[in-house]
Structure 1
Amino acid sequence: MDRTTALAFELERLEHSGVQTLTPFDEHYPSNWTQRLGSKALPLLYAAGSVKLLDTAGLGVAGSRDVSPSGAEVAVEAAKCASRRRMPLVSGGARGVDQLAMNSAFNSGGAVVGLLADSLSRKLAKNDVRAAIHNEQALMCTPYNPDAGFSAGNAMGRNKLIYAQSTLTLVIASDEGKGGTWSGATEALDHRFGRVAVWRGPGEGPGNEALERRGAVPISDLNDLGQLLDDGDADTTRDTSPLVSESEQGVLFDVAAAS
C-alpha cells in the first residue's frame, strides 16, 4: 500500500509537469509497438506533447553522432522529405544525425517524435522544446524514468522503438560491427521490427555496405526515399501543415553541439 501511494503521487507530479504515462492499455500507446515488437514492447512510455503523433507511423532517421557534412545534408533533406509528405520525423534526439534531422523537420513545418534515451525532464526544461510542444509540432517521450540521464544501455533498448514507430527508417551513417546505430539497425533487420533503408552515397558510414548485405534497402538518391515512403502503408500520412510562421520557427535542438 505504501508503494501504491508513492506511485500515485509520482504520477500526479508527472502529470502536473506535462508528462503523460502510457501503457499498452491506453488509447495512444503505439499499436505498431505491440504488433511489431510483441513481448519486447516496453510496458511504460512517458510522453510530453501531442500523443496523437504516436498514432501515425513516421520516417525514422538514425546515424552517427560524428556525421560528415555530406551525411548531415542527407539528414536535413530526408527530414524535409518527411515534412512534404506530412509524416512525423522519428528519431532519438542525440547529437549529430538525430538532432539535424529533427531540427530540419521542425523548421520545415513538420512534426517530430523524439524517442529519448536521455533525461526527458531536462529536455522539457528548454524553451524551444516547450514551444514546439505547445504548438503540437513535437512529442518528446522515453520508456525510462523521466529524470534518468543518458546510458548506453537505455539507448540500445530505445532503438527498437524508433524502427517500430516508423513506416521506414533511414540509416545515414553507421560503423560496422559496433555502436548504437549498427546495433539498432541489425536488431531491426534480424527481428523485422520495421523496414530499414541505408544511405549509399556521399556521407555514408563504413558499416552501410554491410547493412545492405544484411537486407537493408540501399538508397543513393533521395528521390528513391520519397518513393519508398509513398509505397508504405496507406494510413501513414497525416496533416502536419506548418503550425507556426517562418518568423516564429526556431531550432528545436542545439545543433551547435553536434558540430
Structure 2
Amino acid sequence: MNEYAYFAVWLWQQKLKPGDLLDRVSVEQALTKWNEPATHEHAQQAIKLHGLKKTIENISAERIEQLLERGLSLSLALEKWNAAGIWILDREAPEYPPRFKKHLKHQSPAVLFGVGNKELLYVKGVGFVGSRSVEPADTKATENYVTQITQLGYQVISGGAQGVDETAMLAALANENTSVGILSGDLLKFSTSGKWRSHIRAGNLALLSINEPEAHFSPIAAMNRNKFIYLLSEACVVMRSDEKGGTWSGATEALKKGWVPLLVSAHKTPNYGGNSKLLEGIKGQVFQAQEVSFENIKDELMKYSKSTSPQSSQEHVAEGKPPVQSGNKQLGLGFDEGG
C-alpha cells in the first residue's frame, strides 16, 4: 500500500494520469523522470510514510514496466468487455451504491463490473437467498413471495445462481418487474446467455459483479458476494438454508452486522434446519430474524417500509433516479489521481 500511495502522488505531481501511461511515448517519459531525484522532492514532502526511502527504492523501473504491461493487457480486455455492453463503476462513480461504501468503508470494492440498466441499482428491492438445491415446494413459495413483493413495488435482488436465486429473478421478470443479480463470477457469460439477454436489452435487468467479467465461479467468491445482496436490499428473504454453507454464512453475517431486516420463510413444515436456527437467534446478532409466510409477508414488508429512516431512503434514492453520469471515466491502472 505504501508503494501504491507514493507512486500515485508522484504521478499526479508530474501532471500524469494513469490513462496516459497506456501510450508508449508517455511511458518512456515517465520512466526518465522517475530516475531523476529532483522529481521526487515534492512528492516526498507531500506524503508522510514510514520507511519512504526504502519504498521509493522498491519501485524500480522494471517493476513499473511489468505493471504497465498488465495495464496494456487490461486495455485490450476493456475493449472486449465494452463491446459486450459491460460497464465499470469505480467508487467515485455517481451510480456506485452508497450503502456499499457506508457499511464496508475501505473494504468496499474499488471497482464494480456490470451489464444492463444501471438505474436499477437505485430502485428499492427485496433480496432472495437460498439453496441451489430446491424442491417444487421451494420454487412455488419463491414465486408466490415474488408476486407479493411485486405488488408492493419492490424489485428482486438475488445472486443469479441456480435454485432460489434464479427462480426469484425469473419470476420477477415474468411479472414484468425488474431485478438485479449480483454474481460471483462469469459476468460475461451471463450477459450473453439467452436466459437473460432479452431482459437486459429491455432494461429490466442489471447484472453486477465484484469480480472481473471473465472470472469463473468459485465457492469463496460466492460467499463473498452474499453481503452485497443484503446491502442492496431493503429486506432479505431466506427461502431455504442449511446450518452451514453460503446462505447460512450470509444470513448470520447480516444479522450480526444489522444490515437489513431478515425474513425467514416458513413455507416448509417442519422448517429447514438453517431456517429454524436463524429464527431461534445467533450469538451477537443485532437484528432478530422474523418468520414470514404467504399470509404475513406483505405486513412485514410494509412495517419495515414505514420504519425506513429518511437517511436510508436518501441513500437508496428509492423514489427517484441516480445522479446523471457526467461522462465515461477511463479506467486507469489502479492509481488514484492525487493519491
TM-score, scaled relative to structure 2: 0.66
Give, as a single letter, the amino acid of the residue that structure 2 aligns with 1:175: D
The answer to whether the 8 A contact 1:117-1:158 is kept is yes
Cα deviation 1:151-201 (Å, max 9, x = unaligned): 00000110000000000000011111x111001101111122322111123
Is residue 80 of structure 1 aligned with residue 147 of structure 2?
Answer: yes
Is residue 226 of structure 1 aligned with residue 294 of structure 2?
Answer: no
1: CA distance between counterparts of 2:178 and 2:101? 23
2: CA distance between counterparts of 1:165 and 1:68? 27
| Superposed counterparts of 1:1-259, under 5 Å | 1-176=68-243, 178-202=244-268, 204-214=271-281, 215-230=287-302, 231-232=304-305, 233=308, 235=313
Task: Give the superposition deviation at 1:225.
Answer: 1.9
Unaligned 5+ segments in structure 1 are 240-259
Q: Secondary structure at the match of 1:207?
A: helix
From the superposition, tell whether residues 27 and 223 of structure 1 become closer, same or farther in structure 2 (CA, over 3 Å): farther
2: CA distance between counterparts of 1:150 and 1:43? 20
Task: Give the superposition deviation at 1:238.
Answer: 5.8
Task: Give the superposition deviation at 1:38.
Answer: 2.5
From the superposition, tell whether residues 38 and 212 of structure 1 become closer, same or farther in structure 2 (CA, over 3 Å): farther
Q: CA RMSD in A?
A: 2.0
The answer to whether the 8 A contact 1:116-1:142 is kept is yes
From the superposition, tell whether residues 118 and 4 of structure 1 become closer, same or farther in structure 2 (CA, over 3 Å): closer
1: CA distance between counterparts of 2:229 and 2:272? 20
Please identify the structure whose Cα radius of gyration is greater: 2
Identity %: 29
Q: Secondary structure at the match of 1:222?
A: coil
Task: Give the superposition deviation at 1:34.
Answer: 1.4
Task: Give the superposition deviation at 1:73.
Answer: 1.7
Give, as a single letter, the amino acid of the residue that structure 2 aligns with 1:167: E
The answer to whether the 8 A contact 1:112-1:138 is kept is yes
2: CA distance between counterparts of 1:159 and 1:56? 19
Task: Give the superposition deviation at 1:56.
Answer: 2.4
2: CA distance between counterparts of 1:196 and 1:77? 18
The answer to whether the 8 A contact 2:264-2:278 is kept is yes
TM-score, scaled relative to structure 1: 0.85
From the superposition, tell whether residues 127 and 238 of structure 1 become closer, same or farther in structure 2 (CA, over 3 Å): farther
Matching residue of 1:252:
none
The answer to whether the 8 A contact 1:36-1:194 is kept is no
Matching residue of 2:33:
none
Give, as a single letter, the amino acid of the residue that structure 1 aligns with 2:103: R
2: CA distance between counterparts of 1:81 and 1:59? 11
Task: Give the superposition deviation at 1:32.
Answer: 1.6
2: CA distance between counterparts of 1:81 and 1:238? 20
Cα deviation 1:81-116 (Å, max 9, x = unaligned): 222223220001111111111111110110010101
Q: Quick check: 80-89 or 145-154, which moved more?
A: 80-89
Looking at secondary structure, tell me which structure has more helix per residue: 2
From the superposition, tell whether residues 227 and 38 of structure 1 become closer, same or farther in structure 2 (CA, over 3 Å): farther
Q: Quick check: 183-192 or 9-18, which moved more?
A: 9-18
Unaligned 5+ segments in structure 2 are 1-67, 282-286, 321-339
Task: Give the superposition deviation at 1:221.
Answer: 2.3
